[in-house]
A = this chain, B = another copy of it.
């Protein structure tokens, strides 16, 4: 069901049986407007609706900003469907942070006054002062929301987030491959984007300056939240794949954070996603979707979508609290029927 593939995560796993709070950090980078770089949306116009629609699904079991749930152009559903299922099985409280959204979600959300990220190939991603302000706001909220929790999980949703993550890792001197929500990962396109971006920027050792230059606003939100949770002396689970690896490498340079990363086995087993670059322990979580009756879900095990919206961490939370893999797949399938299939003609 899950496996610690790096370091020691036992203490964190035990705390997941206690009071867990989840926070989803969502935003946009114009990097997603580069043709072919992301499939997080049925078409280019819909991509910017994916983060708000993801969190609407989490709260209400349906999206309000778009008619259907976010999907790839060929119909693979958003991983928010998996997160939604897990959250319903465990009943943990969760919050949504607007970390640079183009479209505001129709739910209550926390504003940290984060900027929308610019296209990193063309321009600096964010103004440094705006990054600092958003970081401090996220830190303040992270401190407050973790006071009554034993441990906090942080997930994300930002189209093209794996590309900005690869740019940050490379700017940090870590030569990472790039993961993706596509099985035929457009590695060449992404690598070209990253290389061009790195040529554009001035070299620096300041990790926050790297984020401001070639990162995205969701990184800022996650980093601020994690620092705030650490301020309340609580541990953190960064729920995600290579994006959380990039964030973890920045975070570990900024302060002492008691963190682990939890991601799906589909990312952990992907040769293009080097989870070993994480400075924190890593847990790989098997969603069990290879055994699903539903094509749209089996696709996850075949390398489509793979992770996002904290799906791996949310499933881990369900497993640790007694849900079996079989029960979990069944619950995901039921929601897939209710939310996706039953709405088709």
> A residues within 8 Å of B by Cβ?
19, 21, 59, 91-95, 97-98, 104, 106-113, 133, 137-138, 140-141, 143-145, 147-149
Contacts and interface: CB of A to CB of B under 8 A. Distances in A.
A148 B140 CA distance: 18
A111 B111 CA distance: 7
Contact of A138 (B108, B133, B148, B149): B108
By DSSP majority rule, is chain A's interface helix, strand, loop, or mixed?
A: mixed
Nearest to A19: B148
A50 B49 CA distance: 35
Q: Please give the count of copies of this chain that the complex contains.
A: 2
Contact of A144 (B93, B140, B147): B93
A137 B108 contact: yes
A147 B92 CA distance: 8
A100 to B, nearest CB: 14
Counting chain B CB atoms within 10 Å of each CB, which of A21, A59, A94, A141 scores highest?
A141
B108 A111 contact: yes
A141 B108 contact: yes
Contacts of A133: 106
Given A95-B141, A104-B113, 14 more contacts: A91-B147, A93-B148, A94-B144, A95-B144, A95-B145, A97-B108, A106-B133, A108-B110, A108-B112, A108-B141, A109-B110, A109-B111, A110-B110, A110-B111
